[in-house]
Amino acid sequence: MKRKTSTIHYLFILLSFAVFSSCDDGDVAVQSFDFDNQSLSYCDNDQSILFYVRNSSGTEAVLADLTLNLANLLNAGVLSYELSGNTNNVTYRIFNASADPGYFCSAIPPTSPTVIDELIATSGRAEMLVVINKDDLDGLVADDELPLDQDTDGDGLFDYIDFDDDGDNIPTAFELDVFNTDGDNNPLTNPLDTDQDGIPNYLDPDDDGDGILTIDEDLNGDLDPTNDFTDPSIGPDYLNANVSLSTPQGAYREHNYQVVSSIDLTLLDLVLTASGREIIKEVLFMGSIPSFLTTTVTQTPTRD
């Protein structure tokens, strides 16, 4: 009787194991979706940008392949991309080992590591917060050219993105404290003021105070007053108060300023599916990329 009880108990254990094994047979690796404090990276795929973030061990990743119009990144705001599975898609993967950046940016996927689970987004959207920084690279930071809506020469470009603030066709960088005699490397400590009228040259449309606008002291008409000399021993005409020759110019020089775009990428109302399984993520922050795009904008203001 004792042996019979042991046998029945043994059979029960075997049956229980078989039942749990059959239930476990189709299971996949456990998803953590723990991407906090991980770096958002990207690959340029010509027609689209592949953004990806890995967990700390590199064994999980979320990939967002988005078709971007880079011109839209020149302005601050929020861009929204519906996940259609065609032009914009999101994939969640689990690997059997750590996947390094080379895995994601390879034209031909490497054989290692192996993808042991993959879910694809059937709906949701990606939202990209764009933060921009504009700079005319004139030697002054934006805080030195406040208020930000100041347009000294009225050419339609605010001073902080105008490399020629006073519109005299002399770049601002050439009219600051270019000699740095005090050694403080501050361009505003002793900016040039040729006529000593209290208005520094970079904000003074008539630098030598001779009554002729600097922009019009351009004898050869090449939009560069720095190379016009009546008396070379003194300097260019626009800095020589004894020369008052006017050659009216109808145009400004070509202007350039730099736009640096930084982004935050978030997935919203994400529905991931695979083989009858479904995972829903209302909010999944993928991360940030400072200075994602740097662009030079070229513009030639019209002189009234």
Q: Is residue 103 part of a domain?
A: yes
Token pair for residue 4? 């019979």
| Amino acid identity, position 116 | I
Q: Is residue 48 part of a domain?
A: yes
Q: Are 124 and 159 in contact (CB under 8 A)?
A: no
Range of the domain at 213: 165-251
Q: Is residue 277 part of a domain?
A: yes
Q: Is residue 138 part of a domain?
A: no
Closest CA to 32 of 95, 120, 85: 95
Distance (Å, rounded) from C-alpha 28 to C-alpha 144? Answer: 58
Residue 120 sits in the same domain as residue 57: yes
| Tens digit of each residue's pLDDT, the chain (304 residues) | 343 444 434 433 333 333 333 333 344 456 788 998 899 999 988 789 999 999 999 999 999 999 999 999 999 999 999 998 778 999 999 999 999 988 999 888 788 999 999 999 999 999 999 999 999 999 999 999 999 999 999 999 999 999 999 999 999 999 999 999 899 999 999 999 999 999 999 999 999 999 999 999 999 999 999 999 999 999 999 999 999 999 999 999 999 999 999 999 999 999 999 988 999 999 999 999 999 999 999 999 999 8
| Helix-then-strand count for the chain, H and E | 2, 8
Give tens-digit pLDDT for 226-259.
999 999 999 999 999 999 999 999 999 999 999 9
N-term to C-term CA, the chain: 112
Q: Is residue 260 part of a domain?
A: no
Residue 239 sits in the same domain as residue 274: no
Q: Is residue 96 part of a domain?
A: yes
Distance (Å, rounded) from C-alpha 188 to C-alpha 109? Answer: 54
Distance (Å, rounded) from C-alpha 265 to C-alpha 278? Answer: 22
Residue 246 sits in the same domain as residue 171: yes
The share of the chain scoring above pLDDT 70, in percent, equals 90
Residue 245 sits in the same domain as residue 273: no
Q: Is residue 16 part of a domain?
A: no
Q: Is residue 140 part of a domain?
A: no
Residue 53 sits in the same domain as residue 116: yes
- Match 């145009």 to its residue by tokens: 251
> What is the domain count for the chain?
2
Residue 46 sits in the same domain as residue 124: yes
